[in-house]
Amino acid sequence: MMTTTLSAQQVSFVRDGNTILDNATLTLSSGELVGLIGPNGAGKSSLLRMMAGLQRPDSGQIYLSSKSHPRTLLNDFSGRERAQILAYLPQQETPAWPLHVEHLVGLGRAPWHKPMSGKSNRDKQAIERALEITELQSLRHRIVTSLSGGELQRTLLARVFAGEPQIILADEPIAALDPYHQLHMMELLAEHTQQGGSVLAALHDLSLAARFCSRLVLLHHGKIVADGQPIDVLTTQNLEQVYGISAYVDCRDDGVVIIPRKRVV
Amino acid sequence: MYSEVNLQIKISFPRVVIFLVIAIVAAAALALNSGAADIPVLQSFADIWHGEQSLGATILGQIRIPRLLLAMIVGATLGMAGAAMQGLLRNPLADPGVLGVTSGAAFGAVCVLYFGAAATAWYWLPSAAIIGALLSLVLVYFLAGLHSSMLALILAGVAMSAITGALIAVALNFAPSLYAMQEIVFWLMGSLANRHWDHVVIALPLAIIGWLLMLSRSRFLDALSLGEESAGSLGFNTHRERGILLFGIAIGVGACVAVSGSIGFIGLIVPHLLRPFVGYRPGRLMFASALGGALLLVLADILVRQFDSARELKLGVVTSLLGGPFFLLLILKTRSRWA
């Protein structure tokens, strides 16, 4: 897979007088699983939506570089071209209709559809592959509204995989899931990066973020206050200043364990 | 929003289409056979074919065939527009009139009836209705702002409907004569009686434009099942797609209201009925609903003609009279599925 980089350069965004993002600069390269962390309202969702091209920043630029497009403004891509490279998984996506699992997954092929033609072989293969890696083959004829939260989230991720994107931007993909499904989702995202793709995911579970992410980006009041290896970002000092908590941080061989103890007032 | 396990009927899409087409052909045959005059239909067809001027040929060629075609065009457009609107709003309770298009068209027509222009030339009424539909859509967009959320558009549409509804009431209030008032009220009820080829000629091209605009957006409607954000991230320019879809709805519905008055419930019920047969996919639902709408309106128009009385029972009254209770039944039967 060719190397693809998505980078936000000094992005600022103000809504109704509130600064949502303040001069945020962030680069996401191939093979990286980056966790975007920070308290509620820190600007994680806004940053993701801007990097997905769904919202323009007030100032600053977002660049998408690939082999065929060296350092191009994200806005210069057509919606279709952008969607072929970059996929976005919003927070709590709820399907409006009780579609079949395989039909919903097929929606992810939209950026590749040609006008006035049906599903191509490549579409079918991509959908099959997405069902396979997310272990949804046995559920393909199920109705999405009858799925459990974990199954639904996996279906939505399969929809993203079906589009064969190189970059995945996911907004709290593991919120409201049980630990088993949280691990499953994180493993699937990690697998995507091992194959050369890249993932930027907003996360609230700091231990899981530390365990799976190669890099963590800590947002606070719209500013990026730390960007680096999990062990360097998740310091007791950062947790106290940004999250307002005192936490027990333990670095072990198999990762960092964080146990929040009490609020700091 | 749907919840729990839903009704899914396993039947392939081509089969649904074939079944509906066969049903439409059968209904059309029945429609050509029903009417006040008792004419030999096959013989009349032969007369038309040979260019012979018989009574049967005239009734069939000048009255029944245009009426049948109009029923199909109007039914198909309302069905498709209903499916398009429900898909766009991600809500099964939407109908083509949500954004004020229907009432705008009705108001345009009522203006013409009020000032008596409708009697001077036949084309005034349809033109005014289409202009009314498009104008109300433009106003709704203007009210809500061009890059507004769907919710803002709906609110503006509701406001627009209320305003045009009030203006129609004003027209009735100050109607120059009882006759004019009766004409307006009867027209508002919706009917396909006394229509001729001119009506087909004005409605068909606009309806086709509407159909093509709507159908060309079926992929967008499918993607919209996931929400506006996701559709945007899949490469759709949501504002543009929505604009094209709404324009298609306005032009199609405007053309329908122009020739038939307002006919309710088709746009609401047909998509609702057919949704389980197409696996709840909004894109396919539009096409199926067009066929279903045509079928239902042809059948309703046959029913209207069974009441042989001095005062015609209006088609719009029949669709509402049958549609209302039927819809209620459907909701009662399926209410456990709605969260």
Binding-face residues of A in 219-258 toward B, CB within 8 A: none
pLDDT of residue B47: 84
Q: Cα-flanking dihedrals φ and ψ of residue A107, to 5°?
A: -60, -25
Q: Which residue has the higher pLDDT, B285 or A67?
A: B285
A165 and B CB contact within 8 Å: no
Contact residues, chain A, for B224 at CB < 8 Å: 96
Shortest Cα–Cα distance, B325 to chain A (Å) = 24
Does the structure show a pLDDT above 60 at B92? yes
Contact residues, chain B, for A146 at CB < 8 Å: 4-6
* Pairs of CB atoms within 8 A across A/B: 91
Q: For the segment B143-201, what is each residue's pLDDT rounded down to a tens digit?
A: 887 777 888 888 899 999 999 999 999 998 988 888 888 888 888 888 888 888 988 99
- Nearest 10 degrees: Cα torsion B107, B110, B112, B117: 180
pLDDT of residue A1: 45
pLDDT of residue B337: 61
Q: Do B235 and A83 touch (CB under 8 A)?
A: yes
pLDDT of residue B37: 77
Does the structure show a pLDDT above 80 at B276? yes
Does the structure show a pLDDT above 70 at B7? no
pLDDT of residue B338: 55
Geometric angle at alpha carbon B60, from B58 and B66, rounded to 5°: 105
- The alpha-helical segments, DSSP class H, found in B124-262 are 124-144, 150-173, 178-189, 197-215, 218-224, 228-233, 238-260
Contact residues, chain A, for B230 at CB < 8 Å: 88, 90, 93
Shortest Cα–Cα distance, A89 to chain B (Å) = 7
All structural domains of chain B, each given as residue ranges with its CATH number in brackets, are 13-337 (1.10.3470.10)
Does the structure show a pLDDT above 60 at B1? no
Mean pLDDT by 10 residues, chain A (265 residues): 83 92 93 94 93 93 87 89 94 87 94 82 93 92 90 94 95 91 94 95 93 94 94 91 91 81 86
How many alpha carbons lie under 13 Å from residue B279 in its C-beta half-sphere?
19
Does the structure show a pLDDT above 60 at B339? no
If you measure CA to CA, which chain A residue comes closest to B219? A110
Of A81, A110, A143, the CB nearest to B234: A110
Q: For the segment B95-142, what is each residue's pLDDT rounded down to a tens digit?
A: 888 888 899 999 998 988 888 777 777 788 888 988 999 999 999 988
Shortest Cα–Cα distance, B90 to chain A (Å) = 6
Binding-face residues of B in 5-34 toward A, CB within 8 A: 5-6, 8
pLDDT of residue A195: 93
Shortest Cα–Cα distance, A196 to chain B (Å) = 21
Q: Do B234 and A93 touch (CB under 8 A)?
A: no
Contact residues, chain A, for B239 at CB < 8 Å: none
Of B6, B227, B236, the CB nearest to A93: B227
Does the structure show a pLDDT above 90 at B214? yes
Question: Residue B336: pLDDT band by 50, 70, 90 thresholds?
Answer: low
Binding-face residues of A in 56-95 toward B, CB within 8 A: 78-84, 86-88, 90, 93-95
All structural domains of chain A, each given as residue ranges with its CATH number in brackets, are 5-92+165-263 (3.40.50.300)
* Residue A120: how many other CB atoms lie within 10 Å: 13
pLDDT of residue A54: 92
Does the structure show a pLDDT above 70 at B323? yes
Q: Do A96 and B235 touch (CB under 8 A)?
A: no
The two tokens of residue A204 are 């609230």
If you measure CA to CA, which chain A residue comes closest to B279? A99
Q: Give chain B's radius of gyration (CA, Å).
A: 20
Does the structure show a pLDDT above 70 at B6? no
Model ipTM?
A: 0.90
Of B8, B236, B280, the CB nearest to A79: B236
Q: Do A79 and B235 touch (CB under 8 A)?
A: yes
Contact residues, chain B, for A159 at CB < 8 Å: 226
Does the structure show a pLDDT above 50 at B4? no
Q: How far apart are CA A101 and CA B312, in angstroms?
A: 50
